Amino acid sequence: MENSNIDKQQLLDRLSRNTQEGVEKSVVTSPGSRAAAWAVKIKSLSSYNVYNVCAVVLGEAGSVPVEIGSQMQAVNLAESFLQAGQLSAGTYAVMFRVGGKNVFYVQV
C-alpha cells in the first residue's frame, strides 16, 4: 500500500510544471468524470443569497433560452450569506453542483 502511494506521488510530481506563478498541477480524471454545470435563469429570491432557478437550454444565436425541468434552489457565492440577495429575476448564470449544493457566482 505504501509503495502504491509513493508511485502515485511520483506520477503527480511528473505531471506538475514549474511556472513563474508557481507549481502548476495537472488533474487526471476518469472518463465521464466532470464538473456538473448548467445554464440557469433566476426566477426569484428564496432567502438571503439563495435563489429559485430553472435550467435553460441555449439555442441558436439570437434565440431566447428555453426553460426546462422544475425549479431548484442555488446559492449565489458573490453575495453576502447574511443579507438579502439583490439579483433580478430573469438574470442568467452558470450553475455548478458542488458538495451537494447548487452554486453560481454573479455579482450585482
Measure Cα distances from 79 to 37, 39, 42, 75, 85 in Å: 20, 19, 14, 9, 7
Asked whether residue 12 is assigned to any structural domain, the reply reads no
* Domain span at 57: 37-104
d(CA 54, CA 52): 7
pLDDT digits (tens, 9 = 90+) for 42-57: 999 999 999 999 999 9
Q: Which of 56, 58, 50 is nearest to 87 (CA)?
A: 50
Instruction: Indicate the pLDDT class of residue 30, thresholds 50, 70 and 90.
Output: low
The number of domains in the chain is: 1
- The answer to whether residue 44 sits within a structural domain is yes
Q: Does 75 reside within a domain?
A: yes
Q: Say what the pLDDT of residue 31 is.
A: 60
First to last CA, the chain: 50
29 has a pLDDT exceeding 70: no
Residue 54 lies in a domain: yes
